[in-house]
A and B are shown apart, each in its own frame.
Chain A
Amino acid sequence: MIAGIIFILLVSAGVVMFTINVKKVSRNINLGKDLDRKDQAQVRWKTMARVALGQSKMVSRPAAAILHIFVYVGFVIINIEVIDMFVDGIFGTHRFLSFTGGLYSFLIASFEILGFLVTFGCAAFLIRRNILRLKRFTSNDLNGWPRTDANAILISEILIMSAFFVMNAADASLFKMGSHHYTVSFANPVSQFIMPLFAGMNEGSLIFIERFSWWFHIVGIIGFLNYLPYSKHFHILLAFPNVYYSNLNKPGQFTNLESVSNEVKAMLDPSFTPPPADPDKPMRFGAKDVKDLSWKQLLDAYTCTECGRCTSSCPANITGKLLSPRKIMMSTRDRLTEVGKNIDLNGEFKDDGKALLGNYITAEELWACTSCNACVQECPVNIDPLSIITDMRRFLVMEESAAPAALNGMFSNIENNGAPWQFGQADRLNWSKE
């Protein structure tokens, strides 16, 4: 009875806290500019099914893809067990779902096998990060908190799974012993190997171990859920909407800024009247801070799980330049989180004298990009770092006139003679006579 109340309070607190944090993230994302991504619903659902649910872009790196599928499938399916634990937690039943008989035994056996694969996957991921030290996990982008975050996630998952195995092993031992409350028999292909450790233990100790593991598992899950909004691991939820709202145009196509179109039309055609400007939204060309980006670009930032496939395929990064597309996404999220905290504190955003451009992302990074789209191609959840780079270049060029001198030369050539080099337009057909 008391356990039931504690359980309900704990779960409620967990759900309330999670909801509050998700709302904050959602508010932060909505600080971004409008962008219509509601068209072509059918294509979007299909893309989501293929890329997010079906993990289609993961397979280009097979080792990571297989390990990830273990953890992903395991995580999704084992969560059915949470139903069992919730009903037991509230009503004090024991393994509520066991009324399904043979199916229950099959389910638990499946969970154990999947749980083993999850544990194996997480252990392999830890080894890749900390012992094999794969380049994309050791680069400077991840110094400090991001590296800790990654290890914390993997260790938590291993601990939560271990609790599940220990719980089952203790439970099965108690069943074998004929303990009063433990009346459900189930197949336990993995946890049976833990059972010998419990040989000779008395009933009380076993019940303690079983209860401790049960609470550890469920508290672990609730804790983990609440950790997500602070962590790169948020991708397990955001991957789905993020892929749904993917850019469906060809990656080579950059957006045409409408604000610019109006100005250019007015210049070329004196009779053109541009639509009246919205006084609430001061016009700015390109992006200086997170609020100048679109909500999708901000959703991208929260979705990024820092796997670094983008950076490891970036020609600029490969050749030692400062640019790292992963860092572009991480900086965007860091700045957005900072802006969010500022709003929490002051009720509305109070100028802190900082901006994404300058304080988080430098011009040198932006000017190293070849706009080759490798980062966009590589991202397993359709994040688009290139669009952020482009928008920030636009700010540098159009608001600050801060392009590298050589590019300014190229601009004036195009303006004056219609080519990026100093050749006259009148000579454009000379090649046919040479």
Chain B
Amino acid sequence: MEVLNVPTMAEYAAKGETPEILFWVGCAGSFDDRAKKVTRALVKILNHANVKFAVLGTEESCTGDPAKRAGNEFLFQMQAMSNIAVLNGYEVKKIVTGCPHCFNTLKNEYPSLGGNYEVMHHTQLLQDLLNTGRIKIEGGSFKGKKITFHDPCYLGRGNDVYEAPREVMLNLEAELEEMKRSKAKGLCCGAGGAQMFKEAEKGNKEINVERVEEALALNPDVIAVGCPFCNTMITDGVKHFNKEQTVKVLDVAELIAQAKGL
């Protein structure tokens, strides 16, 4: 696979320069095979748009989100305070995340611990790049395809960001159709609150199956997501219904990268 241009904060600091924005990759984006593809797609877009970005690389560590949702406030604050020390050390002002959980934690829960940054979810950055003309899309491979967007809880309800991913996808000239439970009424994929890292409690159905059933009822070509955990859950749900050949689960960043042929 091609080697991407991914500068680190340390490299920038060594040159005495500061990047426009820090790309907070997140644990899933760094280690999960599916999420790594999203990370690479986003980096290709950033490079294509000539965004001066950097990552922390090996200096990045979990934001503490799953620990916090699970109730381990100690571990969360340990992570938060050491991350803040690193971020403040580099005098970071602006952060884009590839994950709504990192986004929510950095944006809302770091300030009172001493970490104040302007934090964007990657769909917001994409919206910004499209609005300012730094990336342009004309048609592309998703033209006329039916796409439905699954709202990540920590982007939508958690932070009232509903329009950014939708506005980005408008550029695809695709047919965007909403599920009945969307935006503020969106149904969780089942991974939040640290559920990603444990077995579900006893019930009569898996949450991702309930959600994917709703999405598949629209006969979409693509179920779009904006979160690595949703991506896993929805992908598993699509497999549960043996639909993986006909229905793709793609992150909004991948949609844009693919539409641009990146």
Q: List residues of chain A with CB under 8 Å of any chain B CB.
A: 60, 249-254, 256-257, 260-261, 263-265, 267-268, 285-286, 313, 315-316, 318-323, 364, 367-374, 376-377, 390, 392-398, 403-404, 406-407, 409-411, 414-415, 418-421, 423, 425-434
Contacts and interface: CB of A to CB of B under 8 A. Distances in A.
B70 A372 contact: no
Q: How large is the interface on B (under 10, 10 to 19, 20 to 34, 35 or more residues)?
A: 35 or more
A425 B58 contact: yes
Contacts of A428: 25, 30-31, 57-58, 60
Interface in B194-214: 194-207, 209-211
A290 B55 CA distance: 44
B197 A407 contact: yes
B247 interface: no
Nearest to A323: B201
A374 B187 CA distance: 8
Contacts of A396: 71
Query: Which 6 pairs, one residue from A and one from B, show the smallest C-beta to C-beta distance?
Result: A252-B158, A393-B71, A371-B193, A320-B204, A418-B61, A253-B108
Interface stretch (B74-82, B134-142, B254-262): B74-82
Contact of B66 (A251, A319, A323, A410): A410
B201 A364 contact: yes
B207 A315 contact: yes
Contact of B27 (A253, A407, A421, A434): A421
Nearest to A269: B81
Contact of A432 (B3, B75, B109, B207): B3
Contacts, number: 223
B150 to A, nearest CB: 12
A410 B3 CA distance: 31
Interface stretch (B13-21, B35-43, B123-131, B166-174): B35-43
Nearest to A262: B77
A204 B262 CA distance: 93
Contacts of B198: 367, 404, 406-407, 410
Contacts of B74: 260, 263-264, 398
A316 B109 contact: no
Contacts of B112: 256
B201 A414 contact: no
Contacts of B72: 394, 397-398, 403, 411
Given A267-B78, A319-B203, A406-B198, A426 B3 contact: no
Contact of A257 (B73, B184, B205): B73
A424 to B, nearest CB: 9
A393 B190 CA distance: 18
B153 A370 contact: yes
A368 B3 CA distance: 42
Nearest to B4: A432
- Among B3, B40, B70, B196, max chain A CB count under 10 A is at B70
A429 B73 contact: no
Contacts of B204: 319-320
Given A60-B185, A315-B207, A316-B207, A373 B75 contact: no
A267 B81 CA distance: 11
B97 interface: no
